[in-house]
Amino acid sequence: MERVKCLIIGSGPAGYTAAIYASRANLAPVLYEGNLSGGQLTTTSEVENFPGYPEGINGFDMMDDIRRQAERFGTDIRMGTVTKADLSSSPYNIYIDDNTQIEAETVIICTGASAKYLGLEDEKKYAGRGVSACATCDGFFYRKKIVAVVGGGDTACEEASYLSTLAEKVYLVVRKDYLRASDIMQKRVLSNPKIEVLFNHNVEGLFGEGKVQGMKLVKNLGKEDESHYEKEIDGFFLAIGHNPNSELFKEYLETDSIGYIKTIGNTPCTAIPGVYAAGDVADSRYRQAIIAAGSGAKAAMEAERYLQEKA
Ligand code: NDP
């Protein structure tokens, strides 16, 4: 069985940045990439808000840059997905693809979160061509355009408000006849002249030549007066929640009601010594690459301190 000082799980900005710091601190980290090498950013088009890229950069290329930076200092980056974790005692036992077992003195969990989608074929068809799950990332491309946001929670209201500062018009598509968001967010949305809330609406499809040009809506689904119609839009934003990828660790680590791993104070430390959670798997609030990268760096620094104190 292989024993490692530092095992990093996940290959988004948090995982790769943890790897840069851990390898430069001589922890000889091993990183398992998971099934989406490079993480969520590889599915967005252009990243314009990560410092250091004044002209913006393609998400895939940016992750490739960070990955190569981690490799340069000796991180052992491997393909493979963690399928089981036993964090009951140190060293921790991590299983890869159900067969390889690794003993790790420290574990940095950077498994990220996945945005929820409606499950429409058209969401895949127009991925990166008008469909997005992150207004902060992609809103800028829709200046003076017409966009739709799906969802009725705080995220949807926040994204609709943000997009209204850029776009000419924002439709907020809400499946019920009320918003689930907090009062303050509801008021902000309902009093914003640029936002039109479409209550009792579901989206059943998108259309457009090579990019999103409109959405197909159902009003009052399943009721007597059910009706179907279309609206022209340029951008379609999902804001129906995220699923943090924390399932494997829930037996050992505390999570909030949605599943985000709870960390101690402003650190990536969990209640288990030597086990850290960084990036979106532990962050329901910011969900940004730069924040994830910062927390990955913190996690590696904590791992180094922990190993030094233990030695
Ligand atoms: P929520 O789970 O709170 O809301 C999800 C919304 O999406 C609901 O309106 C839900 O509708 C709708 N939805 C879910 N599935 C579908 C579907 N298939 N079709 C149409 N609509 C759907 O998620 P959020 O991401 O908004 O928030 C998560 C947590 O984070 C919350 O606790 C929230 O308060 C918090 N948060 C706080 C913020 C802040 O304080 N600034 C900012 C953002 C989030 P329905 O109501 O019908 O179920």
Of 149, 155, 260, the residue with max ligand 1 atoms within 8 A of its CB, to mutate for a pocket test, comes to 155
Backbone dihedral region of 119: left (phi > 0), alpha (psi from -120 to 50 degrees) or beta? left
Nearest CA to ligand 1 atom 23: 241
Nearest-5° angle of CA 41, CA 42, CA 48? 50
The 10 Å Cβ neighbour count of residue 54 is 7
269 counts as catalytic: no
- Sequence ranges of the domains in the chain: 2-114+242-310, 117-238
Strands 195-198 and 169-173, sheet pairing: parallel
Among candidate residues 138, 234, 280, 283, the one labeled active-site is: 138
Beta bridge partners of 242: 115
Contact 94, 101 (CB under 8 A): yes
CA 199 to each of CA 146, 150, 213, 217: distance values in angstroms, whole numbers, following the listed order? 18, 11, 21, 11
Classify domain 117-238 at the CATH superfamily level: FAD/NAD(P)-binding domain (3.50.50.60)
Nearest CA to ligand 1 atom 14: 240
The 10 Å Cβ neighbour count of residue 36 is 17
| pLDDT value of position 137 | 83
Nearest CA to ligand 1 atom 25: 241
* pTM (two decimals): 0.79
| pLDDT value of position 38 | 81
Q: How do the pLDDT tens digits run along the chain, 311 residues long?
A: 899 999 999 999 999 999 999 999 999 999 999 987 888 787 666 788 899 999 999 888 999 999 999 999 999 999 999 999 999 999 999 999 998 999 999 999 999 998 899 999 999 999 989 999 989 888 999 999 999 999 999 889 999 999 999 999 999 999 999 999 999 999 999 999 999 999 999 999 999 999 999 999 999 999 999 999 999 999 999 999 889 999 999 999 999 999 999 999 999 999 999 999 999 999 988 988 999 999 999 999 999 999 999 98
Contact 80, 32 (CB under 8 A): yes
- Ligand 1 contacts (CB < 6 A) are 118, 150-156, 158, 175-176, 180, 240-241, 284
Of 202, 240, 242, 285, the residue with max ligand 1 atoms within 8 A of its CB, to mutate for a pocket test, comes to 240
Q: What is the distance in A from the centroid of ligand 1 to the CA of 136? A: 16
Same fold, 2-114+242-310 and 117-238: yes
Among candidate residues 6, 134, 157, 269, the one labeled active-site is: 134
| pLDDT value of position 287 | 86
Q: What is the CATH number of domain 2-114+242-310?
A: 3.50.50.60
| pLDDT value of position 25 | 98
